[in-house]
Amino acid sequence: MEFYIKHIYPWLINLSSFSFSIPLLVGILLINKRSSLIFSLLLLYTSFIGLIEITGQLTVYLGTGNNHWIQHLYTPIEYVLLSMVYYYSFRSRPIRFAILLGIAGISVFSVSSVVWGQDITQMNSMPRMVAGALLIALAVLYFYRTANKPRFTYLDRDPMFILSSGIIFYQAGTAMAFSMFNAALAESYDAARICLSIIVVLNILFRIILMLALKRAP
C-alpha cells in the first residue's frame, strides 16, 4: 500500500488531470470538419472539463488546502451540458420537458446541498450521485429508443450510443467511490486516496470514450 501511495497514485492523478487533452485535441483537429450541434456541445463539455482540471491544478500550485468547492461547481454544470446533448438528441416533447425539469432540479439541489447539507469544503457526494443517476436514466432511455427505432447499422458509429455507454460505465463505476469519499477522508488520507484512485482511473477511460464520441459526431 505504501508503494502504491508514494509511486503509483501520484502518477495516476497527473495522468487523469491531463487526460482531458485527448478528446480536446481530437475535437480541435476536427472542428473544421464537423458541423453538428452534438459535436459542438461535446466539444464545449470537453473544454469545460479542461478548464476545471486546470483550475484544480492551479489551486494545488498556489498551495490551497482544500479545493472541493470546484466539484460543487462542476457537478451542476456538467449535468447541464450533458443533458443538453440528450435534449437535442430526443424529439419527444415530454422527454425534453423532463430533461429541463432535471436540469432545474439538479441546480436547486446542488445549491441547497451547500446551504443545508455538505459544506463547500467537503466532496458533494449526494448531488453527484443524484446527477449520475439521472444521467444513467437518460443513457438507458437512449438505448431503449435505439432498440425500438434502430437508425444505425453499426452502433459504434453512433456518437450518442458511444457517449451513453461511457456515461453508464463512468457514473455507475464512480457512484460508490463518491458516496464513500467524505467518510473515507474522515478515516484517513490513505483511505480517501483509494476512493480517488477509482475515480481517476474511470476519468481516464471516460475521456477516451468521449474522444471516440467526438470522432463519430456528424
Q: Express each pLDDT in 202-217 by its tens digit.
A: 999 999 999 999 999 9
Per-residue pLDDT averaged across 148-176, rounded? 85
Rounded alpha-carbon distances, angstroms, from residue 81 to 18, 28, 40, 204? 20, 18, 11, 19
**What pLDDT, on a 0 to 100 scale, did the predictor assign at position 65?**
74
Per-residue pLDDT averaged across 139-165, rounded? 84
Per-residue pLDDT averaged across 141-158, rounded? 80
Confidence of residue 104 (pLDDT cuts 50, 70, 90): very high
Whose CA is closest to 200, among 77, 84, 56? 56
Weakest-pLDDT range from 38-52, 83-97, 99-113, 140-154: 140-154
**What pLDDT, on a 0 to 100 scale, did the predictor assign at position 150?**
64
Cα-Cα end-to-end distance for the chain = 46
Most confident of 54-63, 120-129, 141-150, 209-218: 209-218
When the pLDDT of each residue in the chain is averaged and rounded to a whole number, the result is 88
**pTM (predicted TM-score):** 0.90
Packed helices 93-116 and 125-148: angle between N→C axes, nearest 10 degrees? 170
d(CA 199, CA 78): 16
**What pLDDT, on a 0 to 100 scale, did the predictor assign at position 153?**
60
User: What nine digits make up the cell of 149?
Assistant: 427505432
pLDDT at residue 7 greater than cutoff 70: no
Structural domain of 66:
2-216
Q: What is the amino acid identity at position 79?
A: Y
What is the Cα Rg of the chain in Å?
A: 18
**What pLDDT, on a 0 to 100 scale, did the predictor assign at position 114?**
81
**What pLDDT, on a 0 to 100 scale, did the predictor assign at position 85?**
96
Number of structural domains in the chain: 1
Task: Please say whether the beta carbons of 177 and 129 come within 8 A.
Answer: no
User: What nine digits make up the cell of 95?
Assistant: 422527454
**CB burial string 175-211: b at 16+ within 10 A, e below:** bebbbbbbebbeeeeeebbbbbbbbbbbbbebbebbb
